[in-house]
Structure 1
Amino acid sequence: MKRNEIIIICLLFLLAFGLRFYEISYPDFKWGDEMAHVPAGTNYWLNGQFEPDNWEHPPLRHILMYGFLQLFGDNPYGWRMRNILFGAAACVLTYLFARNVSGGRKAALLAGVLLATDPLHIVMSRYTFEEIYGGAFFLAAIVLYQRHAGRSWLIAASAFFMGCALATKWYYVPCWLLIYLLLLRDNRNYRSVGTAFFITATYLFIPASVFIGSYYFWFMRGYTFSEFLQFIQDAYFSLQTYRPESYNPEMVFLSHTSALEWFIRSVTVGQGTFIGADRGEFILYMNSLPVWIATLPAMVFLAVLAQRRKSLELGLPVLLFLGTYSLFVGVKRPTFIYSAVPLLPFAFTAIGCLVTEVTGRVNARLYHLVLVTMLAWNLYLYPLATAKNVPVAPYQYLLDDSDAKLFRQ
């Protein structure tokens, strides 16, 4: 990698880190899911129990939370630094992923900048949501897969990070199996018994081992492996029974429960407080619709381009996007807007490729106009995602159309 590109990556990380870290100590109390996530980390490490968090989800999140509490203390930095660092790392990984897909810096830079400044990714990087670090693990696995070039240690490293993703959320399973099949397909590895056995042993055994290993403290309570299998089955079926009425009616996400609307209409939930007549503080979870709405057309464009050029690499964002999105669309349980986060690197990569291809054919200078316009829009929304004290007037139309719970001081 050349020096200029290393500088770009460093600047991208600093941008993403700065936007996520700025005034992270506010609020200085556990907010939202932090009230369950933070104590559950200690409870799992010391007692092997998941309470007060949900028991159905894999427990790597608890281990990571306990580790960051030990590093930074039981304070806002200990609660939130995990997501800040992994959120910033995800932006760099998105750049690397898009770089491998497109073969150029322009699409990669646009994809990385869009994730670095995306208001939903930022707000979730400032609290304790699993989608941020789980998504970063998943991206790391994909980038290592892209670059393995037959090197066994990179395949093993990819498998390890895939295991970390699975030990955070289950919805990476379809893409885990997809990457395994693609590894067998590379250079017709399936025709070589030895290579096929290595890939199977590595890419199935290592992720499964990491997933099972995350339950170590649960096993230490005396449970057997057969009980573990029953536990996983019970967790799966329990998750399928969730309906909107299963949640606390005060939950801010309940107004939007379908993944079908993520990329085609405005979704804004959360809460905020009007301070006086003309100012307010808001923590809103929103899709940046002027950017996100390009996702589905960009996916179609990239799929056609990949077909014409007979390039699996170009089609990879489409496959990964569909492999995850179809799961969200197909499940019966509610899918809230925060679950869109793992899709964003692939969405923004497709958008980056679309913009680069179209502007390259029309006028190369248009690329910079699109980049600046999208960046400006996301930064305009930034205060609404980070509880900044801002004048209400510039955002009144967004607040009026939102489903956020808004209060007056």
Structure 2
Amino acid sequence: MGGRLQVKGGRGTRRPVPQFLRRPIPLGLLIALVAQLLFAWRLTTPHKLMFDEVHYVPAARQLLALDGPINIEHPLMAKTLIAAGIALFGDNSLGWRALSTLAGTAVVAGVFALLWLGTRRLRPAATGAVCAMLGFTVFVQARIAMLDGFMAAFVVTGAACLLWAMHGTRPQVWRRWVAGAVLLGLATGCKWTAAPYVAFAGLALVVLKHRRPDRWAGMDVIAGLAVLGTVSVATYFLTFAPTFFYARDPLTLATLIPFQLKMYAQQTQVLPPHTYQSSWWTWPVDLRPIWYLYEPVDGAQRGVLMIGNPAVIWGGLVAVVACALGWLRTRDVRLGVAAAVWIAGFAVWAVIPKSLGFFYYYYLPSIWLCIAIAVALDRWRVRLAGWDEAYLVVAAGLFLHFYPIISAAPLSGPRAFERWMWLSSWP
């Protein structure tokens, strides 16, 4: 019964969903397909660069031409993928953003996989994946050529591979563990803010292996940590391969490590104040979202607001607290992990040495909220019978309400945004 999905039928009864959707792979693929279609719809609007695309698209163009270093404060992997989109679809709004949609879909599929592997139940897996799809932040990042979308896709799918490695034969365990380490290395190759997740993965191995030695069968802790560290670091440095072929100022093996110090100096420099800057402790309550676009473009007033779905961004905090308190009472590992991954992912921002903060830095923690929501609803499913469905209806309703200002849809005029401004601190 644990993996079955059912929907309400007439007269308060429930009828089972079609047989093929009662298996994880078909259901996960269906949700991923819906997400991809949603993210790709009207993707090319606006036809001009918006927000940080003005930094990363020119960097991708220069990388594609192997001309020389640019935008050196960040690693290359995400910019390489933007360049691949340009090579495939042209130097236009489709080429800039096409692969970002795939990254967003990978996040949704990765959330489904994490919840299925962690609970072995389809209902929470589907709930978490739909929350991610409708939570605004994944939708917005899936439709812009920025680094964070690719970074998150590699982190989420990497975490899913490492969790998948808990099950299977010894060769399967090692293949899946190595795959997870590669994906985390690629995530760090997109943006350094993924690096703490390598440490989180190592800590999870130590703690969970201690509690249940049968997990990750045939892999001891020391060997697992060694492979995780070695493979992720090696993968990270391999992402710099294009820089060795620059026509101007190419890197060499001798300059690769010193170049990392230059990147660190760029990352930690003191920047001038920004209109949309915000402190890390304000992000969970969504006090200061960011306009990625708000101007007349393509024949109409349009806007793209990086904001969280209130049902997910605020409801997720309730779920995190519920999971943490539930773990304290029951020591249920699923509750503890669901709370811990958000707490750890958010807490790192208290120590990362950045002179300015922005709400989009909260992107990964906003994804972990979907895990907490699904786990909490599943853990107390008897007491909350039917509430997961009602919750998703609310989330979907809010998605439809805010859709015009997260999708660059035509608006009625310059002051149209006021309709959606719930808080005085919102733009």
Q: Which residue of 2 aligns with 1:286?
A: 307
Query: Of 108, 119, 135, which residue of structure 1 is paired with 2:136?
Result: 119
2:395 and 2:344 map into 1 onto residues whose CA distance is 27
Query: Of 146, 152, 163, which residue of structure 2 is paired with 1:129?
Result: 146
Written as runs of structure 1 = structure 2, the 5 A alignment for 1:34-73 is 34-47=53-66, 49-51=68-70, 54-73=71-90
| 1:316, distance to aligned residue in structure 2 (A) | 2.2
Q: Which residue of 2 aligns with 1:200?
A: 225
Q: Which residue of 1 aligns with 2:181?
A: 159
SS in 2 for 1:345: helix
Distance 1:15 1:339, change over 3 A: same
Query: Of 106, 110, 126, which residue of structure 1 is paired with 2:123?
Result: 106
1:111 and 1:382 map into 2 onto residues whose CA distance is 20
Q: Which residue of 1 aligns with 2:165?
A: 148
Distance 1:329 1:184, change over 3 A: closer
For 1:257-284, what per-residue CA distance to the aligned partner results, in whole angstroms no more than 9, with x for missing partners? 2121122244333142479xxx842211
Q: Which residue of 1 aligns with 2:346?
A: 325
Aligned partner letter, 1:195: D
For 1:59-94, what per-residue CA distance to the aligned partner results, in whole angstroms no more than 9, with x for missing partners? 112221222222222222211111011101211111
Greater relative CO (CA pairs within 8 A, separation 6+): 1
Range 350-359 or range 283-292, more displaced: 350-359
Q: Which residue of 2 aligns with 1:179?
A: 201
Query: Structure 2 length normalisation: TM-score?
Result: 0.82
Query: Of 4, 8, 28, which residue of structure 2 is paired with 1:9?
Result: 28
2:308 and 2:391 map into 1 onto residues whose CA distance is 18
| 1:198, distance to aligned residue in structure 2 (A) | 3.1
Aligned partner letter, 2:145: T
Distance 1:45 1:116, change over 3 A: same
Unmatched segments (≥5 aa) in structure 2: 4-18
Written as runs of structure 1 = structure 2, the 5 A alignment for 1:299-378 is 299-331=320-352, 332-362=354-384, 364-378=385-399
Q: Which residue of 1 aligns with 2:192?
A: 170
2:196 and 2:174 map into 1 onto residues whose CA distance is 22
Range 336-345 or range 264-273, more displaced: 264-273
Q: Which residue of 1 aligns with 2:243?
A: 218
Distance 1:403 1:131, change over 3 A: same
Range 162-171 or range 302-311, more displaced: 302-311
1:193 and 1:356 map into 2 onto residues whose CA distance is 31
2:44 and 2:268 map into 1 onto residues whose CA distance is 36
Aligned partner letter, 2:242: F
Unmatched segments (≥5 aa) in structure 1: none
Structure 1 residue 33 corresponds to structure 2 residue 52:
yes
| 1:404, distance to aligned residue in structure 2 (A) | 7.3
SS in 2 for 1:373: helix
Q: Which residue of 1 aligns with 2:255?
A: 227
Query: Structure 1 length normalisation: TM-score?
Result: 0.86
> How many pairs were matched up?
391
Matched-pair contact (CA < 8 Å) for 2:302–2:405 = yes
For 1:27-85, what per-residue CA distance to the aligned partner results, in whole angstroms no more than 9, with x for missing partners? 2233332233223123224336332xx21111112221222222222222211111011
Taking only aligned residues, the RMSD between alpha carbons, in angstroms, comes to 2.9
Matched-pair contact (CA < 8 Å) for 1:17–1:84 = yes
1:193 and 1:374 map into 2 onto residues whose CA distance is 43
Distance 1:20 1:213, change over 3 A: same
For 1:316-350, what per-residue CA distance to the aligned partner results, in whole angstroms no more than 9, with x for missing partners? 23332222211213334222111111112211110
